[in-house]
Structure 1
């Protein structure tokens, strides 16, 4: 992990890369684009895990100057099942995992609503995809609340008006073998404290006042039958209030080709690397810490602003909770490397963003993949230390025995040595799944926004979304 402290907001950091396989995402890039982007290429660094002789070249960019046209696209009902365009695996919204947990009672809860979706390609040659999802509990064919990604004042506005909606940006095609994806975060309103208080702008933890903000209809524990009731009540047990938990996915890389919002449990077993915030006003937060990157000392989460950034490399060797394939965290921070649960802290945030300073202050988030590993990076005015770039690098397979989850984009990059067979049990049966078998492959794609439609609400503005590849 490397921290570079700067006092020049316009200063550009430097990174290295290695070879790039040809991908459909890049085929539309013209020679003029490549030549013009030379001035935007990020210079190499001998400290990087990648080739110091190589340079990044920008091949795609979205500046959010023109309308995206998402509003004019029609909402459609997700048909669910394995034939759905949004089905991924057993943890999908009507997948085998929930059938084991809830059986017919879960199905009855799911059938009581529609999942409404939009999938809209935007940007030059449709290189980006906007994915929206929302619950329709009265089944009138329209979302109860409408999320959106639009253009406002020259920025992209990610709007998630209710915790039963979701909005995210991703690439229309999987990312190439080596890339750098980055963007600027202009504003952030997804909870946490403001000036030391959970209550701000008439909201609590970023939630507008309202009833029935629960994690319906997906939950890991509880009686899906609701005590034998004939009527499904989204506001009653086993579904719990979610307003104590808010957050935002600054930037993550997932392990399947077409990322889209799903239930909250789904995302926890599908990330390779990521940076997110988790703003939680609950007793379990007492086990969390936040790093002061200036003093290198840990702060109790309860004494923080609850706007910390968790920089995570997801562990392919162990699970925080094997009951739903929730990977353990590997978290390099300025205060030291945090791996797994221990008596000192279960989560350690790298640093704290300062939403009160935005939009006057802008934060940049980036993830790179090179031939050797992944890099997470964030730059901006962080609490305690000021304008700083924090960059963490991890090889795919580390000497400390912690392999990055599903790092292999192709089968020949992996030998099956990290495979485990997990058993998923519930009141209505069980099933086994090989979690990382030999001959498997997992494409990379990125996620910005909110990828689940039963937690979190708020807004964020973003700009200057860029994809870099190796100079050819």
Structure 2
């Protein structure tokens, strides 16, 4: 990548939608955990060219032109106003939280403000940077200023986009300005990563713990929990966030206007995820496992470097009681096989909740990089990830699930009403200290949910660090391949 490279982009959204599909993507069912060498489809350097076989490149951002959100206007998010950031009852000021935890929740909202930035970038503004930050002292300015800015990579003339989030009580993501086409491939390259995990075998690294400032006080997830605000609990009495850090390498959400929000709400809005959850919580929330892609065997995540990749298709028919029926259950895909967060897994059912697909090696970046891609095509989603993973080295993995496979749907897969008949609709009841709230008909017949991708940290009350991304590309099926 250099400043002389020519950026390629879409001409119009209409042209994105016009390209028909070509080949059927091979599927992989819900399997017992077992070696799955067939999933390793490529080794060596990843693809960095233009068009791909069967795909036509319609938008491409290589960040060769200088860009920064620094200096952009911070806009006060006015609670209760139907604006560009409104989604549903699980919004930051949502009626669900008020119903299950007022007066604690409404009182909590009076103690801080949220400021936002929304800045377009890329040719024709096809990408949007979304940033948010809490103003806890109500002085009219955000407590910290996360930024998205182009930077020179170490020892190189190449530029990439730095996502810098200096405090946990803020969020920063990159998303498409418009909803994605009916069928697409979207991919992004990760050039550096510093959002926590172990360094030389320890979560403590100088004055940082798991990527957070180890000495800063009152670092909590206030006020959003899965059961609403906590009664008679001050900001600093909420749970400390430092055990849990993370980053979304690439995820598909079910609405067209993603932005950073309180942690629980996003758990109800995801379709497909590739993320890192760098969490020193093994045994607390579940007995997490990690896949060794070289041997096809599982081991306890307590023995990992805690800089993993979770490759997840979100279930549309089952919800976690531990997340108050807000968060869906997961379908994990790895080179060791597949697993479901509903069940225990492993040779002796010794693991539960999370199965991590592979471990990244941040120390190898930026000389080496990772590429993540999601495809939606021919009634299925495909996850693909490439890079120099722990144990196996450079490799590429692909996993595909049909929209409904073995009777299990991917959450809100339908972009149009015609794609879905209401078969998995249900009501979900949330409970809290003040009472109950029912999310009625969460997936009705006649509904439609556009696809949008995010890269970064969408959690307004968790995660802290920085990462650098490059080469964000959008493809549509190439109708020339059908001739």
Kindly report which structure 2 residues correspond to 1:66-105, keeping only aligned pairs within 5 A, or say none: 66-105=65-104
In 2: Cα distance, 1:84 partner to 1:470 partner: 34
Q: Which runs of 4+ in 1 moved over 6 A?
A: none
Equivalent residue for 2:476, pick from 440, 461, 469: 469
1:7 Cα shift? 4.6
Any conservation in 2 of the 1:255–1:443 contact (CA below 8 Å)? yes
1:222 Cα shift? 7.9
Kindly report which structure 2 residues correspond to 1:242-281, keeping only aligned pairs within 5 A, or say none: 242-281=241-280
Query: Unmatched 5+ residue regions in structure 2?
Result: 1-27, 29-37, 153-158, 345-350
In 1: Cα distance, 2:420 partner to 2:285 partner: 37
Equivalent residue for 1:9, pick from 18, 37, 45: 45
TM-score, normalised relative to structure 1:
0.87
Change beyond 3 A, Cα 1:301–1:10: closer
In 1: Cα distance, 2:332 partner to 2:459 partner: 23
Deviates more, 1:119-128 or 1:59-68: 59-68
The answer for the alignment partner of 2:407 in structure 1 is 401
What secondary structure sits across from 1:434 in the alignment? Answer: coil
Deviations 1:376-403 (A, max 9, x none): 11000001111000111000010x2210
In 1: Cα distance, 2:172 partner to 2:450 partner: 21
Any conservation in 2 of the 1:3–1:388 contact (CA below 8 Å)? no
The answer to whether 1:150 aligns with 2:156 is: no
Change beyond 3 A, Cα 1:40–1:208: same
Any conservation in 2 of the 1:68–1:123 contact (CA below 8 Å)? no
Any conservation in 2 of the 1:216–1:454 contact (CA below 8 Å)? yes
1:471 Cα shift? 2.0
What secondary structure sits across from 2:39 in the alignment? Answer: strand
The answer for the alignment partner of 1:358 in structure 2 is 365
Equivalent residue for 1:419, pick from 400, 425, 435: 425
In 2: Cα distance, 1:366 partner to 1:311 partner: 11
In 2: Cα distance, 1:201 partner to 1:8 partner: 35
In 2: Cα distance, 1:257 partner to 1:223 partner: 27
The answer for the alignment partner of 1:23 in structure 2 is none
Query: Unmatched 5+ residue regions in structure 1?
Result: 13-38, 44-54, 228-232
Any conservation in 2 of the 1:101–1:220 contact (CA below 8 Å)? no
In 2: Cα distance, 1:194 partner to 1:291 partner: 20
In 2: Cα distance, 1:293 partner to 1:463 partner: 25
The answer for the alignment partner of 2:335 in structure 1 is 334
What secondary structure sits across from 2:105 in the alignment? Answer: helix
1:201 Cα shift? 4.6
In 1: Cα distance, 2:384 partner to 2:259 partner: 23
Any conservation in 1 of the 2:46–2:387 contact (CA below 8 Å)? no
What secondary structure sits across from 2:103 in the alignment? Answer: helix
1:5 Cα shift? 5.8
In 1: Cα distance, 2:297 partner to 2:136 partner: 47
Any conservation in 2 of the 1:81–1:87 contact (CA below 8 Å)? no
Any conservation in 1 of the 2:385–2:398 contact (CA below 8 Å)? yes
In 2: Cα distance, 1:431 partner to 1:109 partner: 19
1:342 Cα shift? 2.7
The answer for the alignment partner of 1:177 in structure 2 is 182
The answer for the alignment partner of 1:118 in structure 2 is 117
1:59 Cα shift? 0.8
Change beyond 3 A, Cα 1:63–1:371: same
The answer for the alignment partner of 1:213 in structure 2 is 219
The answer for the alignment partner of 2:235 in structure 1 is 234
TM-score, normalised relative to structure 2:
0.85
The answer for the alignment partner of 1:293 in structure 2 is 293
Any conservation in 1 of the 2:359–2:389 contact (CA below 8 Å)? yes
The answer for the alignment partner of 1:442 in structure 2 is 449
Change beyond 3 A, Cα 1:285–1:363: farther
The answer to whether 1:198 aligns with 2:199 is: no
In 2: Cα distance, 1:285 partner to 1:422 partner: 22
1:221 Cα shift? 4.5
Equivalent residue for 1:382, pick from 366, 389, 393: 389
